[in-house]
Chain A
């Protein structure tokens, strides 16, 4: 398959692995955070950890939008649509995320009209097809998905479609990275920068990490070769005592970002003064809300939302895992009370969540693998 297979070719992967071993100083321990949940998933799915030397450690970052969403927001969204005249529409990732009284799928089993959509435009289509109902699109995601939500709201306004609104949970990546760097118990050597987010915001917003914090950032694609090459680039910078922002994902990410997408976001959204992140607490100016000019398409401005706050179960250590302080398997609930099937914390729900990735792909001790040639 084009644009996929060439980034998974075993001989190239093998070479990248060798290069990593050559660059990594055996007297040093490297802690590299991959910010994005998509990277976490790929690292587990392709078994990339097995290719790294022991002193190159990957720490899973906060870039999984489902995982950082506090439970109160899910409760708010679901309480809004618990009447027969509403349709609750969300991405598939949201469907198994537990609220206080169950996940959207469990609400669906009890009779709520819950639909899985693959884009906000699909939710708008639902509104057109169901003129007697009000469709609430439960929007989540970083800058990756925010532009398509913005364009959908602009479209709803231009069509005069009033039975559609967005319950907006869009967050921004930079404040989350700052919160992690401010966290006293963190020691990181560099970042594998988010690929999809950067297609929208470009590479410039990371420059402070390199310049003020002295940590290299390499914006990376999602194929195995992309991720390994980004690690090679990070180790190269560290070896030379450099810290700069590099773009490994040039085939997709323009340095300046996507101006049209940024314009659409600026047209529809403004920053919230503060927003609660699961595991990280309240972070100022870290999330987006819908401007009053588009208030009719904002579920929060249009309807009364209870504003529920739910504290995470005490025993769950989602916050520490999310910040990379603990490994998923070091959480007391991991694999016992908390599994992908009956998740306690959101990190176990999304396939991009580090706990689910760890559970699904490597919950047991590593197994030595003989080569396929043994068959």
Chain B
């Protein structure tokens, strides 16, 4: 019997910046075009990394491209992002990064010292994250075509024993943990572009979250239901995806969500919601209620995890949505990011 033709739902006439911004449009593209043509039927919810089985061994695999402008910014650079981003995508899918391969797309005219600085930054970040860089590829494109350089990293990782996460396992009553203040990376990039005539003491949060994930797993093991690093689209987008995939309501308590004053100030000025701003060194976890305290305590005891907090919980209602309770007992729904308020920040 012939296989039925895959159903392509993506009918938009051209690709817009929004399709790469990590919000609703990105999801439509992936689920409407890529998934039906490439993954076939029966594909479950799309996570940060794919889990595949080779000769009985389950490994996690992920890939990510970095097109950030500017290449260097307070607290980091494209090289560090490229390593940490892939290590983190594996970490939040429950895996420890083992090896990474790198593709550089370089623009003719890129000064060698800039490239060297980024290669060094990658080497250092890889060493800190405990991952081996196993190979790579280089392409050069014409001047003016690649903002200096683009970097793609592809990583494989070994699953951390005792972790079984999936959005379907998330249940009402579960608690939502966050590893630290949000919005630092996105606002840093926005200010580093120098287009706003705004200055602030702030730096990107880029780092490997693997040590935090590992100590949480040790403390709460099977109680961990779901993890995600809220990069493009921010916390709001990650949690909306979860709400949609698990069918529950996600309720956040606004006063508990950590946002630095500089980030809040910039968001107030620019009319942005910190919940939509990108992060590169934080992660969200949903943990069973009876293990949540232990998980939080473990995070707080780990270096870099002191600012971890419980920001909300899973409830029956509003099913499929994210609700933020305001300081005054009022409530507002927070949707996924629509469009692209901060183009190309990771």
CB-CB contacts of A344-375 with B at 8 A, as 1s and 0s? 00000001000000011111101101011001
* Bound Cα distance from A351 to B337, whole angstroms: 12
B1-39 contacts to A, CB under 8 A, are: 14-18, 24-25
With A341-B24, A360-B335, A361-B332 known as contacts, the answer to whether A13 contacts B15 (CB < 8 A) is no
Q: Are A1 and B264 in touch, CB under 8 angstroms?
A: yes
Closest to B25 in A: A341
The answer, among A50, A95, A110, A359, for a CB contact under 8 Å with B330, is: A50
Chain B residues with CB under 8 Å of A340's CB are: 335, 338
Q: Are B328 and A1 in touch, CB under 8 angstroms?
A: no
A8 within 8 A of B: yes
B221-263 contacts to A, CB under 8 A, are: 249, 251, 253, 255-256, 261
CB-CB contacts of A228-247 with B at 8 A, as 1s and 0s? 00000000000000000000
Q: Are A105 and B265 in touch, CB under 8 angstroms?
A: no
Q: How far is the CB of A295 from chain B (nearest CB, A)?
A: 30
* Bound Cα distance from A371 to B313, whole angstroms: 12
Q: Are B317 and A367 in touch, CB under 8 angstroms?
A: yes
- Among A40-48, A199-207, A325-333, the stretch that binds chain B is A40-48
CB-CB contacts of B317-331 with A at 8 A, as 1s and 0s? 110010101111111
Q: How far is the CB of A111 from chain B (nearest CB, A)?
A: 11
Q: How many residues of A contact B (CB 8 A)?
A: 41
Chain A residues with CB under 8 Å of B327's CB are: 8, 10, 13, 46
Chain A residues with CB under 8 Å of B318's CB are: 364, 367
Q: Are A50 and B338 in touch, CB under 8 angstroms?
A: no
A96 within 8 A of B: yes
Q: Are B195 and A369 in touch, CB under 8 angstroms?
A: no
Chain A residues with CB under 8 Å of B24's CB are: 341
Closest to A49 in B: B330
Chain B residues with CB under 8 Å of A221's CB are: none
Closest to A95 in B: B339
B268 within 8 A of A: yes
Q: Are B253 and A372 in touch, CB under 8 angstroms?
A: yes
B196 within 8 A of A: yes
B333 within 8 A of A: yes
The answer, among B175, B196, B331, B333, for a CB contact under 8 Å with A360, is: B333
Q: Are B339 and A369 in touch, CB under 8 angstroms?
A: no
Closest to A93 in B: B271
Closest to B23 in A: A341
Chain B residues with CB under 8 Å of A359's CB are: 335
B212 within 8 A of A: no
Q: Are A109 and B268 in touch, CB under 8 angstroms?
A: no
B310 within 8 A of A: yes
Chain A residues with CB under 8 Å of B181's CB are: none
With A1-B265, A110-B14, A375-B175 known as contacts, the answer to whether A50 contacts B331 (CB < 8 A) is yes
Q: Are B253 and A122 in touch, CB under 8 angstroms?
A: no
Closest to A372 in B: B253
CB-CB contacts of A8-25 with B at 8 A, as 1s and 0s? 101001100100000000
A51 within 8 A of B: yes
Chain A residues with CB under 8 Å of B249's CB are: 367
The answer, among B17, B270, B313, B325, for a CB contact under 8 Å with A109, is: B17
Chain A residues with CB under 8 Å of B15's CB are: 109
* Bound Cα distance from A26 to B256, whole angstroms: 36
* Bound Cα distance from A372 to B251, whole angstroms: 10
Q: Are A106 and B16 in touch, CB under 8 angstroms?
A: yes
Q: How far is the CB of B169 from chain A (nearest CB, A)?
A: 20
With A105-B16, A341-B25, A375-B313 known as contacts, the answer to whether A367 contacts B329 (CB < 8 A) is no
> Which has the most chain B C-beta neighbours within 10 Å: A109, A363, A369, A371?
A369
* Pairs of residues from A and B, 3 with the lowest C-beta to C-beta distance, nearest first: A47-B330, A50-B330, A361-B332
| 8 A–B contacts, CB within 8 A, in A order | A1-B265, A17-B328, A50-B330, A50-B331, A51-B329, A51-B330, A361-B334, A363-B333
Binding site for A on B (CB under 8 A): 14-18, 24-25, 175, 195-197, 249, 251, 253, 255-256, 261, 264-265, 268, 270-271, 310, 312-313, 317-318, 321, 323, 325-335, 338-339, 341
